[in-house]
Structure 1
Amino acid sequence: MRLQCDVEVVNRALPALGLRSTGRSRRALLSIGTHADRSSPSSCRYLLICTARDRSGSRYKLKDNIEKFFSWFVEEGKATVRLKEPAIDICLSKADSSSLKSFLSAARLAHRGSDTDSLPLSSLGPARARDVEKPKKKLSILSKKDYPLTSSFPHSLEQLQVSYCRLTRVDLRMLSLRALRRLDLSNNHIKKLPSTIGDLSCLAELILHNNHLESFSDGLCSSSLQTSLQHLDLSQNQLQVLPARFCQLQQLVNLKLDQNKLLRLPFHIGRLSKLRFLSAAHNQLTVLPASFRKLCLENLDLFENPFTQANALEHTIRLTFPLRLQELASRAVVELRIPHGPHSVPLHLCHELDFSKACDCGRACVDSYIQTAVSFNLHLVSHTVVLVDNMGGTEAPVQKHFCSLVCYCEFMDSCVQHDLR
């Protein structure tokens, strides 16, 4: 039986001598097994503790020698084994909770002198260097020649950068790193992201700058990234659109979309309530979505986009008289927030519902509406605005939708009155 964890061996006689323990734990490999000397009784079991400083290890007898187990915090990977002779406490921490439970059970059996058949034993030899080294949390690979082809990535990694390695796809070995918080795959040739990236439940930063990405899948937007991802860099790729469900990534704080081929921003971008930094410079944006006005940003960069000149008189009418039954039902589904999906309504209707619009009056409109664009001062949604054009402007066109002719006429009347003033 073996266990990798941090260990501190505390001598209980120190306080009587006026001394204190160092309070420092070290990475160690613990093994339970028989004595290497064959002349020893077969029933004698030992605990071997190997560290980087002492890979041969220190051996402690277990049979009838454990005074007490302290396992109140075993779910947190912590426990203490108190030995009778010598009078020491073996304090364990940073262990896998399930492995720690198994190890304590094996130690209890060894203490009772259980038969070998019921006790999982290990050889009590010196530990390998990699077994007692501190878990590696950060790794950067910046050239193709340094990329590991035969060895795996350390499972303890929290930050991984693999850049300038000409990767054309994401290595599946990276997707088994469950502790990963930051993944930087910038400056490669990746064309598509696997949906299993969404299984990295701790991932807070995903850097994909300067690749060949052509899409960002719906699956990623519905994965555990919804609750973990805070920083997303998709700049310098080949993206034209982002999926309707992109705005389910509601923990996003920083979003970089510069130098793509984006024709529009995510339709419901206003739902990203935690977003503070947004850059989408050097794209093909002609107008901003209506929900853009709900954002509350610290920094906004929309430089070098071919925005059209906003004119409220230029409009698109998609109203039918009277409204079709499908439109009335769709509006009711949106306004009443009735759950829906491919299991209950046709897929094309799901798509239309995902892109439902909100009229100025507060009602919804799905496939029947009037659309126009108005000039919008970007300082209303961001403290700092990078110039939108070469003329120093900070205004851009934002879409507006109306559910009926009445709402549109009221809006036009208000525009006329404003101009008269």
Structure 2
Amino acid sequence: MRLHCEVEVVSRHLPTLGLRNRGKGARAVVSLCQLRPPERGERAGPHSACLLISTVKDKRGTRYQLKENIEQFFTKFVDEGKATVRLKEPPVDICLSKANSSSLKGFLSAVRLAHRGCDVNTSLSTLIPVKTSEFEKFKTKMVITCKKQYPLSKNFPYSLEHLQTSYCGLVRFDTRMLSLKNLVKLDLSHNHIKNLPATIGDLIQLQELDLSDNCLESFSVAFCQSTLQKSLRRLDLSKNKIKALPLQFSQLQELNDLKIDDNELIQLPFKIGQLKNLRFLSAARNKLPVLPSEFKNLSLEYLDLFGNTFEQPKALPIIKLQVPLSLLELSARTILYNRIPYAFHVIPFHLCQDLDTAKTCICGRFCLQSFIQGTATMNLHSVAHTVVLVDNMGGTEAPITSYFCSLSCYVNSSDMFK
């Protein structure tokens, strides 16, 4: 019985000696083997079972006795292909990672039986060096650039960390990719994909996603609320048909590089300023008339807004002040100003939506339905170190929406408007 994974053997004596482990696993084949071949009439059993860890550099491997020699199993992250087996002698922790979760569960069950001295309901491997071909199963990168190369009758290697399937004519997301738990980079560019599955968050390690040159017309809210909030760093949505990104897009807090060029965007995400880690933003050749008010909270290294249909700032503001303020407005402002937690199981769902879309006044306070809306001109160098010219005239300015919670806030900032 064999398991393909990454293995790190950590000695528990290292900390007492003031040493650290290198903290990096190696590709390995972990085998449940017989210590010795059974004698005539004897059945191979757990009393002769051992754990054999073989690597490319050490194909003969290192053996570890199993019977009554396991101190503890750590299986909290077994669904992610991770587990640790703590041995008594020698005092080491065998850390397994990047394994197929179902294979790992079956392997650990067999190891547990061998430790208890029970019969192992599987065939035990022999103590022979692992062939080099065994390690070729650890394929971490696959690049497919035509339909003929695309696998139809077999699954993708579970160990993949980088998968590219471009120019394959895909019209939908291949759900077999969702089982690739180690996937870090996924390139689906130059296809005809229209929608993303709601379960795409199953790719818990995904850091880079390229969906450029497809047929996306909208972007999934489920995507923004998935585990990708904590992993996704680079997203390319250029050359699609997207008109707007959802409000929840700002929940992708680790996003560093966003490309949304050549779409049909009529607005940027309302809360885009909450993307604190965003450093590279390219939204050229869209239909943006104005930037959202929170755009000024960004801190970018590179910004490209060339070719958008920016409008001239309006001379007169839109006044929606309420005197006196409604109870709803007062309550909403209090909740947001004092950062009181709220959720749809506490207050009605539509009220949660109202709070999520509240406007931020230049004074830092919030407003819901009572506000003054104006448009000002913003120099894009105030939010980005490098700015691509907005138009062929050499401009680096763009209109931005501003909100004021009261007349006094508007009057005090009237010099912003012409």
- Give the deviation of 1:259 after TM superposition: 0.4
Partner of 1:184: 187
Question: CA RMSD of the aligned region, Å?
Answer: 3.7
- Give the deviation of 1:226 after TM superposition: 1.0
1:333 match: secondary structure: helix
- In structure 1, runs of 5+ residues without a counterpart are 9-23, 84-88
1:169 match: secondary structure: coil
Q: How does 1:254-293 map to 2 (within 5 A)?
A: 254-293=257-296
- Give the deviation of 1:4 after TM superposition: 3.6
Alignment TM-score, normalising by the size of structure 1? 0.79
- Once residues 50 and 359 of structure 1 are traced to their aligned partners in structure 2, the CA distance between those partners, rounded to angstroms, is 62
Q: Which moved more, 1:97-106 or 1:264-273?
A: 97-106
After superposition, the C-alpha distances for 1:195-221 in whole angstroms (9 at most, x for unaligned) are: 211122111111110111111122111
After superposition, the C-alpha distances for 1:74-113 in whole angstroms (9 at most, x for unaligned) are: 7764777989xxxxx999664657667545444445xxxx
- Once residues 59 and 39 of structure 1 are traced to their aligned partners in structure 2, the CA distance between those partners, rounded to angstroms, is 27
- Once residues 257 and 77 of structure 1 are traced to their aligned partners in structure 2, the CA distance between those partners, rounded to angstroms, is 42
After superposition, the C-alpha distances for 1:288-322 in whole angstroms (9 at most, x for unaligned) are: 011111111100000000111124x3211122222
- Once residues 62 and 380 of structure 2 are traced to their aligned partners in structure 1, the CA distance between those partners, rounded to angstroms, is 69
Letter in 1 for 2:285: H
Does structure 1 residue 159 correspond to structure 2 residue 162? Answer: yes
- Once residues 267 and 58 of structure 1 are traced to their aligned partners in structure 2, the CA distance between those partners, rounded to angstroms, is 57
- Once residues 25 and 292 of structure 1 are traced to their aligned partners in structure 2, the CA distance between those partners, rounded to angstroms, is 44
CA contact (8 A) 1:280 1:301 kept: yes
Q: Which moved more, 1:300-309 or 1:93-102?
A: 93-102
The 1:203–1:231 alpha-carbon spacing in structure 2 relative to 1, beyond 3 Å, is: same
Aligned with 1:133 (options 136, 145, 163): 136
- Once residues 207 and 412 of structure 2 are traced to their aligned partners in structure 1, the CA distance between those partners, rounded to angstroms, is 45
- Once residues 332 and 50 of structure 1 are traced to their aligned partners in structure 2, the CA distance between those partners, rounded to angstroms, is 61
The 1:150–1:90 alpha-carbon spacing in structure 2 relative to 1, beyond 3 Å, is: farther
- Once residues 398 and 72 of structure 2 are traced to their aligned partners in structure 1, the CA distance between those partners, rounded to angstroms, is 60
- Give the deviation of 1:367 after TM superposition: 1.6
Q: How does 1:107-118 map to 2 (within 5 A)?
A: 107-109=114-116, 114=117, 116=119
Partner of 1:333: 335
The 1:198–1:67 alpha-carbon spacing in structure 2 relative to 1, beyond 3 Å, is: closer
CA contact (8 A) 1:269 1:292 kept: yes
Does structure 1 residue 198 correspond to structure 2 residue 201? Answer: yes
The 1:5–1:366 alpha-carbon spacing in structure 2 relative to 1, beyond 3 Å, is: closer
Q: How does 1:15-26 map to 2 (within 5 A)?
A: none
Letter in 1 for 2:354: E
After superposition, the C-alpha distances for 1:336-393 in whole angstroms (9 at most, x for unaligned) are: 2222233233333322221111112222111221111111110011010000011000
- In structure 2, runs of 5+ residues without a counterpart are 9-24, 76-82
Partner of 1:14: none
Letter in 2 for 1:154: P
- Once residues 368 and 115 of structure 1 are traced to their aligned partners in structure 2, the CA distance between those partners, rounded to angstroms, is 73
Letter in 1 for 2:300: L
Q: How does 1:12-411 map to 2 (within 5 A)?
A: 27-28=28-29, 30-32=31-33, 39-42=40-43, 45=48, 77=84, 94=96, 101-102=108-109, 104-109=111-116, 114=117, 116=119, 119-122=120-123, 124=125, 132-311=135-314, 313-411=315-413
CA contact (8 A) 1:209 1:237 kept: yes
The 1:46–1:227 alpha-carbon spacing in structure 2 relative to 1, beyond 3 Å, is: closer
- Once residues 202 and 26 of structure 2 are traced to their aligned partners in structure 1, the CA distance between those partners, rounded to angstroms, is 32
Alignment TM-score, normalising by the size of structure 2? 0.80
CA contact (8 A) 2:84 2:93 kept: no
Structure number, greater radius of gyration = 1
Partner of 1:12: none
- Once residues 51 and 184 of structure 2 are traced to their aligned partners in structure 1, the CA distance between those partners, rounded to angstroms, is 34
The size of the alignment, in residue pairs, is 385
